[in-house]
Amino acid sequence: MQDEEAFSFIRIEDEPGYFSRPTEKQMSHLRPLHITTTLSGIKVNKVLIDGGAAISLLPERMLIKVEKHPDGCYLSSKDLSVKLLYPELGFAPTGWDCLS
């Protein structure tokens, strides 16, 4: 399937989206996938596995546990791709990178 075909259903207009109600069989799979992992030697519970459809978030308390401080963070657009609803506004995408 080509990218154009895969994304042909996306609309630029500011309209609400509607989805069909899932079947009983589909309902059993409507839970997020969480795993436990280690980040800088610290065990982290409930890490959400996501295929890239969401922006990654890290609570401030977890940032401090891995010996980073919010004051050592700065805005960056590295590895972040955002499509704007109104691209004519001209805002650049932003994200957070932490200093080592």
pLDDT tens for each residue of 3-61: 444 444 445 555 556 667 778 877 776 667 777 888 778 887 877 766 665 556 677 77
In angstroms, rounded to a whole number, what is the distance separating the alpha carbons of residues 61 and 96?
15
Taking the domains of the chain in order of start, what are their residue ranges? 3-98
- Bin 41: left if φ > 0, else alpha if -120 < ψ < 50, else beta: left
In angstroms, rounded to a whole number, what is the distance separating the alpha carbons of residues 60 and 96?
12
Rounded to the nearest angstrom, the gap between the alpha carbon of residue 45 and the centroid of all alpha carbons in its chain is 18
- Average pLDDT, integer, range 91-95: 54
The answer to whether the predicted template modeling score (pTM) of the entire model surpasses 0.85 is: no
